[in-house]
Amino acid sequence: MTHSIKDNPITDKKAMHQKTIADIIAGLNAGEFTSVEITQHYLNRIKQLDGTYNSFITVNEESALAQAEAADKRRAEGDAPALCGVPIAHKDIFCTNGVRTSCGSKMLDNFVPPYDATVVENFANAGAVVLGKTNMDEFAMGSSNETSFYGPVKNPWDTNTVPGGSSGGSAAAVAAHLTPGATATDTGGSIRQPAALCGITGLKPTYGRVSRWGMIAFASSLDQGGPMARTAEDCALLLNVMASFDPKDSTSIDREVPDYTANLNQPLDGLKVGIPKEYFEEGLNPGTEQAVHDALAELEKQGATLVSISLPHTKLAVPAYYVIAPAEASANLSRFDGVRYGHRCEDPKDLRDMYMRTRAEGFGDEVKRRILVGAYCLSAGYYDAYYRKAQQVRRLIKQDFVDAFEQVDVIMGPTSPSPAFEFGAKGDDPVAMYLEDIYTIATNLAGLPGMSVPCGLVDDKPVGLQIIGNYFDESRMLNVAHQFQQVTDWHQQAPTGIDVEGAE
Amino acid sequence: MEWETVIGLEVHAQLATKSKIFSGSSTAFGSEPNTQASALDLAMPGTLPVPNEQAYRYAIMFGLAIDADIAKTSVFERKNYFYPDLPKAYQTTQLEKPIVGAGHVEIELADGTKKSIRIHHAHLEEDAGKSLHEDFHGMSGIDLNRAGTPLVEIVSEPDIRNAEEAVAFAKKLHSIVTSLGICDGEMSQGSMRFDVNISVRRPGEEFGTRTETKNLNSFRFMEDCIALEVERQIDLIEDGGKVVQETRLYNGDTKQARSMRSKEEANDYRYFPCPDLLPVVLDNDYIESIRQTLPELPDARHDRFMEQYGLSSYDANILSGDANMAQFFETAAKASGDTKLTANWIMGELSARLNAEDQSIKHSPVNAEQLAGMITRLVDGTISSKMAKQVFEAMWNGDGNADEIIEAKGLKQVSDSGAIEAMVDEVIANSDKQVDNYRNADESKRPKMLGYFVGQIMKASKGQANPQQVNEILLKKLNDLI
C-alpha cells in the first residue's frame, strides 16, 4: 500500500524544504544552491509558519546566516565536513554557548550557558547551521508538549492535536519542513513517540552512544540524545555526527562510531523480526495495529521472517520507569535553587523562602509532580519498596530483551498506542498520559536503541512503526528502516498547509 | 560512681590532588573566591562529573596503609540536601559500597600502652563550598573554590575511651596521610577535620546516647571539646536528665559548645546510586601496583628511628609521627652530625615555638639546614648553649643563618685559655671575701659556691667565654688556693 505525493521538482528553489538532508548535501556539493540560500529559505518558513506550530523557542537568524556564510566559504575552499552548510535545529535541552537554553521551563528562561553540549559541538565541527532551539515539554517531562513554559507545540497534521513529547518541537519542525533535521532526546519515548505522531523518522541510540554532556538531565540513566529527520538515511547522516565517545561523560562508551550509512542498502533476506505479543494487547488503537501489521507484511515480502516472541515483564515497565525516572529527576532538578543562575523569586525574606518560592514559581505542575514522586520513592522507609524494587524490575526487563535477542535480529511493534490526541485529552489523568510511552519505555530501561518510522495514516494522522535493536546495532535498524522506506512512501507524506511561498 | 567514655571519630582528610574529584578545577588553597569554580563546580545544567583517578589512588593507598580490604566494586551515591554552598543540592559520596573496607590503626599512649583502633570503613566524597556570613549586609556570600575538593572520610569504630586516645588516634591518622603524601595535613586550612561522637556509660553497660561534635580542626580543640562534652553528659545524667542525640558545634576560642540540630531535625538524605557515575571496578593487579608505590609508613619509620638514631620509643614517636617532622629531623640530623642534640632541639625549643605560634613544622621559620648549622657551631664550641638560644631567636626572626648571626652579633665564644685564665685571675683577685668563704666551706658545699665566680667571669667576658673552659680553669685555680 503506497501513497503518491505531489510531484514537486526538488531542484526548484521553492521546494528546497522538501529536500532530505542527503538531497541538500548533494545540492550543495553540486553547487545548485548555497547554504546561505537554503538557510534563508528555512528562516523564512519559520517566520511564516511557526506562529501556528510554535515549534521553536528561539530562532537564531543572525548566527545561522553567519554559520551558513562560513560554511559556503569552507566549501569553496574545498574543506567541507560531513554536514557543511546543512541547516538543523537543536532541542532546547542541549546547551548552546551564548544562546539561551531554557529546557522548556520558566526556571531557565534567563539561562545562557557559557558552554556547548558535546552534541552541539559535534554538529558545529561537522559544519551544520543551527536555525534555532526547539520547543519541548518542561525538562523533557511530558508526552504531549503541553507542559512547556513556552506553550504547546501544534501537530502540523492537525493543529488541534498534540505533536507528542517531549521532543514535540523538533518533531513538528521536521514534519512542517521548518528544518530538514533536528536533535532530540529520549528518556522514555521522547524521540520515538513524537516522531510517530508527527509522521517522521526518529532514532534513540544505545545508552552511552551519544554524549550527555551539556544535555540538561531529566533521568541520567535513561536520557539519550538522538536524531530526527524525514528519512532513515538522514537519521544515519545525523547520527554519524551526533554519536561520539566523550571523556566528559562517564557513561559514554568508548567504542568506534561506524559509518551508519554504510549498510543502508543491505537486503533484508533472512532478517528475523521479533513480534512481542505484549505489544499488541488491550489499549492498542485498531487502526494503529492494522498499520503496523501492514508494515510487517511489507517487510516479510522483502525476505524478513516474523517470529512471535514474549517480553513477559512489559507491563512492569511503566511503573518501574515512573519510580526510577522521577527519583533521578528529583535529585537532578535540585540544583535549580535560585542561588547561582536561573529563576529566583523576588525579595526572598530568608533562605527557606527563597528556595520554596523560587521552585514553586519556576517549575510547572508536571515537573513538581515528578519531583514529589521521586523524593517519596527515595525516602527513608520507602526506598526498598519503590526504588530498589524498581531497579530489580529493570534488570528483569533488560533480561527479557537479552533473551529475545538470542532468537531475533530486531524487535518490532507500534511506537505508541494511538495516533495524536487532542489538546487537553489527557490533561487530568497523568497515568493515561504515562501510558503513551507503554511501548517505548522498556527500551530506555534496558538501554537499547529504538526507532520510529512512519508506517501509515489513521484518520489522516500518522502512525509509527517501532524498531528496537540490540545494543549498538543502530546500523542494522537503519538498514531495516531504509529498506522499508525504499518500498513505502509514508515518510514522504507531508501535512497540508505547510506549502506556502518560501523565499521572496 | 565510675563512668566510661565511648568515642568514635569521623575524619575528613582533603586529598592532595591537583584538581577536584569530578572537575578539572584547581584545589589550591587561599585563592580569590570563586576563581576555582568551573561550570561543573557551579552545577550548571548539563555538566557531568568525571572521577579523578588520582583521588581513587590516594584512597586506595590509605586503605592499604591501614591493612584494609579495598573494594573491587565501589559506588558513588547522591546524598540529597539543600544548602547554598552545595551547588547540586546533593553531595556525591559513597555509602553502601565504599572504596576502603574495615581496617585498623595502632596507637601508642604516653605511658607506652599500645592499642588498636578499628576502622569501620573509609569512603571518597566531594567537599562542599563555603558560606561567608560577614561583610554581606544581611546576606551570605558563597565561595565554591572548595566545592568538589576530594575528601576521604575515615570512620572509626567506637573503640576510643578517652581524650588522650582520641588525640593519639587523630595524630596517627594525620601521620599516616601525610606520610603517604595523600593529604597536606594543614589543619588550620581545614585539610583535616574531625567529627567526634561521644557517649558515656557505666562500665559493662550498653552504649549510651551519643552526640556528634562536628568540624574540629585542631588536636587541642578535640581534647578540650571531649573533656567538656563528657562532663556535660555525666552532669546531665547524674542530675536525672537524659542525653539527647544531636549534632553539636564547639568553639575552640571561647571553649564553649552548643547544639546545632537534634535527631528529629535531621535530614532524610535520600541516598541513591549516582546515575552519572558508573561503579568503579578494580582488579588485583591495579591494587597491587599501588601497594608497590607505598612510601615508608609511620610505624616502620618509628622502628627505624629507634634503631638508626638510638632514640627512645617516645622520642621516635614524636619525631617520626608527622612526615614533615620526620623529614625535618632526618635532614637536620644528617647535616649537623649530632642526632641527640638535633632531636633535643626539635622536640624542645623548636616545637615549643611552633606550638606557641600555632605553626606547623612545614612552615617553620627556621628550616632544617639552619637548625643544623646552629647545632654544628654548638658542637664545635663556637657558641655556648645560651648563645645558641640567641642565635635560634634571631634565625626565627629571619635574620639569616647561624654563621651570619654569630658574625653580626659578635657571639663568638672565647675559648682562648690564656684569655680566660686572665679573666679568672682578675675575678679571684677582686673577690677576697668570696674566696675566703670558699676556702673555709665544707667540700660538699663548694660546688654550689662556684656560681658567683662563673657569673662574674661571664659578665667580664660579656657572656662569650666558653663556660666549660671557665669551669675547668676556675676550679683548678680555686683549688690551688686551698
Query: If you average pLDDT over every residue of chain A, what do you get?
Result: 95
- Whether B280 and B51 have beta carbons less than 8 Å apart is answered as yes
- Does B460 share its domain with B444? yes
Residues 339-358 of A with CB under 8 A from B: 339-341, 351, 355
Q: Is B75 helix (H, G, I), strand (E, B) or coil?
A: coil
pLDDT at A442 > cutoff 70:
yes
Q: What is the mean pLDDT of residues B395-424?
A: 85
What count of CB pairs under 8 Å joins A to B?
Answer: 105
Q: Are strands A129-134 and A56-59 parallel, antiparallel or unpaired?
A: antiparallel
pLDDT at B110 > cutoff 90:
no
B29 vs B14 pLDDT, higher one? B14
Closest CA relative to residue A262, chosen from A242, A246, A239? A239
pLDDT tens digits, A108-136: 999 999 999 999 999 999 999 999 999 99
- Does B235 share its domain with B307? no
Give CA–CA dist A198/A493, Å, rounded.
Answer: 10
- For chain B, say whether A221 makes contact (Cβ under 8 Å): yes
Percent of chain B with pLDDT over 90: 69
Give kind and range of the element (H or E) at residue B176: helix B163-180
Cβ neighbors of B116 (< 8 A, separation 6 or more) are B104, B105, B106, B107, B159
- For chain A, say whether B33 makes contact (Cβ under 8 Å): no
Closest CA relative to residue A257, chosen from A481, A21, A476, A472? A472
pLDDT at A93 > cutoff 60:
yes
Q: Which domain holds residue B395?
A: 296-409
Minimal CA separation from A249 to chain B, in Å? 6
pLDDT tens digits, A214-271: 999 999 999 999 999 999 999 999 999 999 999 999 999 999 999 999 999 999 999 9
Spell out the domain ranges in chain A: 19-278+289-310+399-492
- For chain A, say whether B78 makes contact (Cβ under 8 Å): yes
Question: Do B50 and A331 lie within an 8 Å CB cutoff?
Answer: no
Q: Are strands B73-74 and B280-281 parallel, antiparallel or unpaired?
A: antiparallel
CATH number for the domain formed by residue range(s) A19-278+289-310+399-492: 3.90.1300.10
Question: Do A335 and B87 lie within an 8 Å CB cutoff?
Answer: yes
- Does B253 share its domain with B220? yes
Q: What is the mean pLDDT of residues B43-72?
A: 97
Percent of chain A with pLDDT over 90: 92
Q: Give me the residue from B89, B268, B271 closest to A337, CB to CB.
A: B89
Q: For position B477, what pLDDT does the model report? A: 85
Domain boundary (B409, B429, B464) is at B409
Q: What is the total count of domains within chain B?
A: 3
Cis amide prior to A211 (ω within 30 degrees): no
Q: What is the CA radius of gyration of chain A?
A: 21
Q: For position A15, what pLDDT does the model report? A: 81
- For chain B, say whether A249 makes contact (Cβ under 8 Å): yes
SS (H, E, C) A112-172: CCCCCCHHHHHHHHCCCEEEEEECCCHHHCCCCCCCCCCCCCCECCECCECCCCCCHHHHH
Question: Do B42 and A330 lie within an 8 Å CB cutoff?
Answer: no
By residue count, chain B amounts to 482
- For chain A, say whether B82 makes contact (Cβ under 8 Å): yes
- Does B469 share its domain with B353? no
User: Which residues of chain A lie closer than 8 angstroms to B51, CB-CB?
Assistant: 250
Domain boundary (B370, B390, B409) is at B409
Task: Look at A385-394, A404-413, B151-160, B374-383 and tell me which has the smallest mean pLDDT.
Answer: B374-383
- Does B333 share its domain with B192? no
Q: What is the mean pLDDT of residues A379-395?
A: 96
Q: Using CB atoms within 10 Å of the CB of residue B326, give its burial: 0 to 12 exposed, 13 to 18 middle, 19+ buried.
A: buried
Question: CA A389, A392, A398 angle in degrees (round to 5)?
Answer: 145
- Does B153 share its domain with B109? yes
Per the rule left: phi > 0, alpha: psi between -120 and 50, beta: everything else, B186 is: beta
- Does B277 share its domain with B306? no
Question: Do A351 and B39 lie within an 8 Å CB cutoff?
Answer: no
B177 vs B380 pLDDT, higher one? B177
Domain boundary (B289, B320, B335) is at B289
- For chain A, say whether B95 makes contact (Cβ under 8 Å): no
- Whether A279 and A413 have beta carbons less than 8 Å apart is answered as yes
pLDDT tens digits, B435-479: 888 888 888 888 888 888 888 888 888 777 888 888 888 888 888
- Does B314 share its domain with B209? no
- Whether A22 and A237 have beta carbons less than 8 Å apart is answered as yes
Confidence bin at A501 (pLDDT 50/70/90)? low
Active site residues of A: 91, 166, 190
Q: Give me the residue from B43, B272, B277 closest to A378, CB to CB.
A: B272
Query: If you average pLDDT over every residue of chain B, what do you get?
Result: 92
Q: For position B446, what pLDDT does the model report? A: 83
Q: Is B249 helix (H, G, I), strand (E, B) or coil?
A: strand
- Does B104 share its domain with B183? yes
User: Hey, what's the cell of A199?
Assistant: 509522521
User: Which residues of chain B lie closer than 8 angstroms to A221, CB-CB?
Assistant: 275
Confidence bin at A502 (pLDDT 50/70/90)? very low
Nearest chain B residue (CA) to A334: B89
- For chain B, say whether A220 makes contact (Cβ under 8 Å): yes
